[in-house]
Every structure is written in structure tokens, then in C-alpha cells.
Amino acid sequence: MTGVEASVAASSSAAAAAAIVQAIKASGAIIRLEPEEFDKIMSKSEAPLVVTALGGFFTKQHQYLTNYKGLHFYCKSEVPIRLPSDAEVVQAKKIWIPN
């Protein structure tokens, strides 16, 4: 790799890192939960709004995102999670959570 190529690669990596930092700032804190803990949050919420998507590379995972008391909660599960009957569900094409 030449010096110019290395410089371009480093700039590209820095830009990607900056984009991730901006995404985290824009979305706020996202708390990742196990399905059992996500269920507890659902039981405390009255008429929760839940965004769902099917994701994963090799194995499909059901993904869930909701808000409770100003915090964002994210969960993924190999099997669908049973949501409350009063939940408003939005089916998304994809949920992207910054690392």
C-alpha cells in the first residue's frame, strides 16, 4: 500500500468512526436487553410503541426497539417475543443500532 492509499484508508476509517459517534449522539443511549428483561419493560408500559424488524446475517433474529421513561431499549431474539395486546407495532425493514 502506498502512502496515498494508506492516507485514504485512514481517512475513510476516521469518517466511519465519526459517523458512528454522530449516530450515537443523535439516538441517545440505547440499552440492550435480553428477551426476559425486554418483556419486563413491556409489562410496565401502557400502550407501548414497539418497532420490530427481522435481521441477522447467517441466522435470522427478531429485533425490537421501544422507549420507556425516556430511555431506548433494544432486544433481539431467535424466536418472536409476545408483545402486549395494546402495543402499537411498527414493522421496519431494518433496525440499525450503533456499536
Q: Regarding beta strands 71-77 and 30-33, do their DSSP bridges make them parallel or antiparallel, or are they unpaired?
A: parallel
pLDDT confidence of residue 38: 97
pLDDT confidence of residue 8: 46
pTM equals 0.72
**Residue-wise pLDDT tens digits, 1-57:** 665 555 545 566 777 666 656 655 665 789 999 999 999 999 999 999 999 999 888
**Residue-wise pLDDT tens digits, 51-97:** 999 988 888 999 999 999 989 999 999 999 999 999 999 999 999 88
CA distances, 87 to each of 16, 44, 56, 63, 75 (Å): 35, 12, 24, 15, 16
CA distances, 56 to each of 14, 35, 53, 61 (Å): 26, 16, 10, 6
pLDDT confidence of residue 82: 93
pLDDT confidence of residue 20: 58
